[in-house]
């Protein structure tokens, strides 16, 4: 009943094509009969197709395309029949042709649903199942272990098994849908099995029905999964290995296989001072060094320190005269004095840290949502909050329980058109608040029970309801479940949200509960983010996964508790870090970008950082020529008098462009809490051939040529401004070869370009 119209409508088209040439009355009568039967069958096919979809609980993009193209085809078939009845042959032929195309299109997506995305390619002679190289991306212990697994291996294996089951099996065998009375989302359910009995026999994959079903050849009526892609060879092997090891699963459904960090704060005892160390940060790091047999290295020299701290606190290169004065200063506390001076430059501080918070809070000056009025910026509020160093607890409260200027953060982005349920603005608010302030991921749990954490779909909806005007119906994988979530904090021990209260009251309750001193997670999260921003790597990595193990739990706990004790003062936190001997250690590098996330990472000092897009642009503006005109700054979103307090058009306040994008500024349509510090091809192309950089060099060279008529004076000034030092003799000689005895504009451009690309300029050492 479902597929019969495909043949009939195609036959009608073939008959009409034959009649076009032969002009046969018999063919026309046959065409009329077949067309009417085909149209009636198309209507029947749509009805039965919808009933079948309901019975099978079908969903997904392919299903939606199949459904609506099928309905459209039915409408076209009926329209073609009526055009034929009206004896309008030209319209009939056009409609019939489009109808057959629609049947083909709908049939293609129907075949994808029943036989998989590769139903065509899989029948080709060379289309055997792709074979993965032995050991590809496979954990070593899965391949080689013949004995007992250690606790970390058990956890890794459990996470992988749950991921495989969630991706491939939960759509049919979970709490929301239980085909064959089988659930695979809990230990008890897996061991119980389904209508046919147990599906897993611990220690015996060869006797386990699950392994038999997923190993059957494609097309077998008992093969699982019944639809979509089959499990890869690697996934099958992982499940076999898991069963062979006893189908390990944590005892009791409340016991997590994931590390869950403590919520409450903790103030560890500071280790005793030594002859050379007396600051708490250094004493905790010293204890870590002793434990890991790491030796302290001499701190960096004054020239490196002043450049490092200038860029980290206010995002600007230090003026050469400041460098000279700092090096000549003999006071023992001159580094502490310098840090205080920079932190007291309120506008410069705010102008630099705007980029960090813009990334985290999705605040931008253009982009998705602004054209339709479905997005609101928080620029004025954010700048003034940074400029006055608003205590962090109030900072958070005003974002979650907002006024008109700060509401853009939890309002989210109203995307154009139909969107996934997990991207409605209330769910965006839940995801963003949990990620930015609590360092946890609710995105998976916004669609289905997470398989990378213990967060459930009901948890995400209950938290999202705090931001909603009316309670939300739970959607699993964008399909309504008929269940309505209540309202609940992610950590109920912080407080209970009134389900009957209005939205404004609920947001005020949420803000008050989150900023309590007993919410140690809130303050550990921001402390870890600031440490990562200043030292290139968090105490916990990734910074959005605060349940991971810190390399020094005592250091993180002390920093966050001290932060609270000092009145939630962000500048004091930064001062504590940048005046420590730890911050002043020589920078280190990693061989591969992923090494920074490794579980066996060992901290030995600041991880060398590349200048951010805004820092690089501002460095060029300071050392050579402003990259952006004053008109580029988004003044309308800033206090009226900001222009007079900005030394030049700082890159943090201009709309994103190809140059800033290539250097790593995100589009801010999603939360971005870290940027890569690795160079890439796009960046190289933009710095060598990009219009923005080339145009700046061209304009600046004219001014420098007029201001510095001799090569020696020009090169010396350029090195001092850009690198904070005099050129070495060999550098001066190389520059003279580029410029010649009399500087010219093209030579100046080449010299500035060469300096801007050296590591000494691009990196923070």
The three-class DSSP label of residue 602 is coil
**Distance in angstroms (rounded) separating the CA atoms of residues 705 and 703:** 5
For residues 448-470, give the mean pLDDT: 91
Tell me what pLDDT residue 129 has. Answer: 38
Sign, CA torsion 219/225/228/229: negative
Neighbour-count burial of 217, counting CB atoms closer than 10 A to its CB (0-12 exposed, 13-18 middle, 19+ buried): exposed
pLDDT bin (cut points 50, 70, 90) of residue 651 is very high
Q: Alpha-carbon distance 309 to 307, whole Å? A: 6
CB 79 within 8 Å of CB 116: no
Whether pLDDT at 143 is above 60: no
- HSE, CB side, 13 Å, CA atoms: give it for residue 638: 24
pLDDT band at 112 (very low <50, low <70, confident <90, very high): low
Q: Residue 270 pLDDT more than 60? A: yes
Percent of the chain topping pLDDT 90:
58
Is residue 227's pLDDT more than 90? no
- pLDDT at position 125, please? 45
DSSP 474: E
If one compares 582 and 636, the residue with the highest pLDDT of the two is 582
pLDDT digit string, tens, across residues 671-723: 999 998 878 888 888 998 889 999 999 999 999 999 998 999 999 999 999 99
CA distances from 303 to 325, 348, 582, 765 (A): 11, 21, 17, 10
Asked if the model's pLDDT at residue 385 lies above 80, the reply is: yes
d(CA 520, CA 677): 29
Cα(507)–Cα(707) distance, integer angstroms: 58
Instruction: Give the least confident one: 168-177, 190-199, 369-378.
Output: 168-177
- For residue 318, the tally of other CB atoms under 10 A from its CB is 22
The kind and range of the H/E element at 727 are none
pLDDT at 55: 56
Q: What is the pLDDT of residues 470-486, one digit of tens each?
A: 999 999 888 898 999 89
Q: How far apart are CA 559 and CA 569, in angstroms?
A: 12
How far apart are the C-alpha atoms of 677 and 114, rounded to whole Å? 45
Higher pLDDT, 467 or 676: 467
- Model confidence at 132, pLDDT cuts 50, 70, 90, reads very low
Bridge partners for 173 per DSSP: 178
- Answer positive or negative: Cα dihedral of 66, 72, 78, 80: negative
Residue 146 pLDDT level (bands cut at 50, 70, 90): low
The whole-angstrom separation of Cα 308 and Cα 102 is 63
pLDDT value at 159 more than 80: no
pLDDT for residue 352: 98
SS3 content of the chain, % helix, strand, coil (to 5): 55, 5, 40
pLDDT tens, position by position, 14-71: 777 777 666 777 777 887 887 888 788 888 888 887 877 665 545 556 677 888 888 8
**What gap in Å lies between CA 336 and CA 566, rounded to an integer?**
18
pLDDT at 103 over 70: yes
Q: Give the pLDDT confidence score for residue 399 in this predicted structure.
A: 98
Stretch 269-298: mean pLDDT: 97
Contact (CB, 8 A) for 625 and 700: yes
Rounded Cα gap, residues 677 and 90, in angstroms:
63
Q: Quote the pLDDT of residue 61.
A: 62
Model confidence, pTM: 0.75
Q: Is the four-CA dihedral 324, 327, 331, 332 of positive or negative sign?
A: positive
% the chain with pLDDT above 70: 90
Strands (E), 258-376: none
CB 440 within 8 A of CB 490: yes
Q: Which one is predicted more confidently, 44 or 492?
A: 492
Given a cut of 50, whether residue 625 has pLDDT beyond it is: yes
Q: Which long-range contacts (CB under 8 A, 24 or more apart) does 196-201 make?
A: 200/243, 200/247, 201/243
SS (H, E, C) 476-487: ECCEEEEEECCC
Return all residues near 292 (Cβ < 8 A) that are at least 6 apart: 602
pLDDT in the model for residue 142: 60
The torsion region of residue 523 among left (phi > 0), alpha (psi -120 to 50) and beta comes to alpha
What torsion, rounded to 10 degrees, do the Cα atoms 379, 385, 391, 397 define? -40
**Is the preceding omega at residue 225 within 30 degrees of 0, hence cis?**
yes
Instruction: Read off the pLDDT band of 74 (50, 70, 90).
Output: confident
Partners of 633 in beta bridges: 654
Across the chain, mean pLDDT equals: 87
Mean pLDDT in residue range 241-259: 73
> Among 63-67, 322-326, 383-387, 453-457, which stretch is predicted with the lowest mean pLDDT?
63-67
Annotate 373-385 with b (16+ C-beta within 10 A) or e (fewer): eebbbbbbbbbeb
Stated as kind and residue range, the H or E segment containing 433 is: helix 425-438
**CA 97 vs CA 16, 17, 44, 411, 637: distances in Å:** 10, 10, 21, 47, 55
Rounded Cα gap, residues 74 and 67, in angstroms: 11
> In terms of DSSP H, where are the helices of 708-758?
711-723, 729-739, 745-756
Residue, of 158 and 704, whose pLDDT is higher:
704
Instruction: Tell me the average pLDDT across 201-225.
Output: 89
Q: What's the CA gap between 268 and 270, in Å, rounded?
A: 6
Distance CA 662, CA 341 (A): 33
Residue of 462, 499, 467 lying closest to 483 (CA atoms)? 462
Buried b (16+ CB within 10 A) or exposed e, 434-461: bbbbbbbbbbbbbbbbbbebbbebbbbb
8-state DSSP, 315: S
Helices assigned H by DSSP within 472-579: 503-514, 520-535, 553-565, 570-578
User: How many Å apart are CA 177 and CA 184, to the nearest integer?
Assistant: 11
pLDDT at 256: 65
Out of 39-43, 142-146, 744-748, which region has the weakest mean confidence (pLDDT)? 142-146
């Amino acid at each position: 009943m479902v597929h019969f119209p495909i043949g009939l409508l195609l036959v009608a088209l073939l008959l009409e094509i034959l009649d076009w040439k032969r002009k046969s009355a018999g063919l026309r009568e046959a065409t009329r009969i077949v067309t009417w039967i085909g149209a009636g069958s198309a209507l029947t096919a749509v009805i039965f197709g919808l009933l079948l979809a309901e019975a099978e609980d079908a969903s997904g993009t392919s299903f939606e395309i199949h459904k609506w193209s099928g309905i459209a085809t039915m409408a076209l078939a009926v329209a073609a029949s009526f055009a034929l009845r009206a004896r309008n042959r030209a319209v009939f032929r056009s409609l019939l042709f489009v109808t057959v195309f629609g049947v083909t299109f709908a049939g293609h997506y129907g075949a994808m649903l029943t036989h998989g995305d590769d139903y065509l390619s899989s029948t080709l002679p060379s289309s055997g199942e792709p074979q993965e190289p032995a050991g590809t991306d496979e954990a070593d212990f899965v391949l080689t272990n013949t004995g007992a697994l250690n606790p970390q291996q058990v956890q890794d294996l459990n996470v992988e098994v749950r991921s495989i089951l969630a991706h491939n099996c939960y759509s049919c065998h979970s709490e929301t849908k239980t085909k064959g009375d089988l659930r695979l989302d809990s230990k008890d359910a897996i061991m119980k099995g389904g209508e046919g009995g147990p599906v897993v026999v611990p220690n015996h994959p060869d006797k386990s029905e699950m392994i038999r079903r997923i190993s059957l050849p494609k097309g077998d009526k008992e093969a699982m999964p019944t639809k979509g892609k089959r499990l890869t060879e690697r996934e099958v092997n992982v499940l076999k290995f898991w069963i062979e090891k006893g189908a390990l699963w944590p005892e009791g459904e409340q016991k997590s296989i994931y590390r869950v960090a403590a919520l409450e704060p903790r103030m560890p005892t500071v280790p005793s001072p030594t002859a050379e160390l007396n600051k708490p940060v250094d004493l905790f790091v010293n204890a870590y060094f002793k434990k890991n047999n790491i030796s302290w290295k001499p701190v960096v020299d004054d020239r490196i320190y002043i450049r490092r701290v200038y860029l980290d606190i206010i995002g600007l290169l230090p003026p050469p005269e400041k460098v000279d004065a700092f090096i000549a200063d003999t006071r023992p506390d001159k580094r502490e004095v310098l840090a205080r001076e920079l932190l007291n430059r309120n506008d410069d501080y705010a102008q630099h840290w705007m980029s960090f918070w813009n990334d985290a809070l999705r605040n931008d000056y253009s982009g998705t949502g602004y054209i339709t009025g479905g997005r609101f910026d928080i620029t004025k509020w954010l700048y003034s909050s940074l400029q006055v160093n608003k205590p962090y607890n109030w900072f958070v409260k005003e974002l979650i329980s907002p006024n008109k200027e700060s509401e853009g953060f939890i309002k989210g982005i109203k995307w154009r058109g139909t969107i996934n349920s997990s991207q409605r603005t209330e769910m965006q608010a839940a995801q963003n608040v949990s990620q930015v302030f609590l360092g946890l991921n609710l995105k998976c749990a916004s669609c289905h029970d997470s398989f990378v954490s213990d967060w459930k779909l009901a948890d995400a909806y209950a938290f999202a309801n705090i931001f909603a005007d009316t309670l939300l119906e739970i959607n699993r994988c964008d399909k309504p479940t008929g269940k309505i979530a209540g309202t609940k904090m992610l950590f109920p021990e912080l407080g209970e949200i009134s389900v009957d209260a209005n939205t404004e009251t609920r947001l005020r309750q949420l803000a008050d509960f989150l900023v309590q001193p007993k919410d140690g997670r809130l303050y550990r999260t921001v402390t870890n983010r600031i440490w990562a921003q200043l030292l290139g790597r968090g105490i916990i990595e990734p910074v959005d996964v605060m349940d991971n193990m810190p390399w020094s739990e005592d250091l993180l706990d002390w920093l966050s508790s001290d932060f609270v004790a000092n009145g939630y003062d962000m500048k004091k936190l930064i001062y504590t870090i940048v005046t420590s001997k730890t911050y002043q250690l020589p920078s280190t590098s990693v061989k591969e970008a992923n090494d920074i996330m490794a579980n066996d990472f060992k901290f030995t000092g600041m991880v060398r950082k590349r200048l951010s897009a805004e820092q690089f642009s501002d460095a060029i503006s300071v050392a050579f020529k402003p990259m952006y005109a004053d008109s580029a700054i988004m003044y309308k979103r800033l206090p009226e008098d900001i222009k007079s307090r900005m030394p030049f058009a700082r890159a943090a306040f201009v709309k994103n462009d190809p140059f800033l994008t290539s250097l790593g500024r995100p589009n801010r349509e999603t939360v971005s809490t870290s940027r890569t510090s690795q160079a890439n091809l796009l960046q190289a192309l933009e710095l060598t051939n990009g219009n923005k950089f080339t145009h700046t060099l061209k304009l600046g060279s004219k001014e420098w040529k007029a201001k510095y008529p001799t090569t020696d004076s020009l090169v010396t000034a350029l090195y001092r401004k850009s690198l904070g030092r005099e050129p070495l003799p060999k550098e001066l000689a190389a520059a003279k070869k580029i410029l010649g005895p009399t500087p010219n504009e093209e030579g100046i451009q080449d010299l500035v370009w060469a300096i801007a690309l050296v590591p000494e300029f691009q990196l923070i050492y």
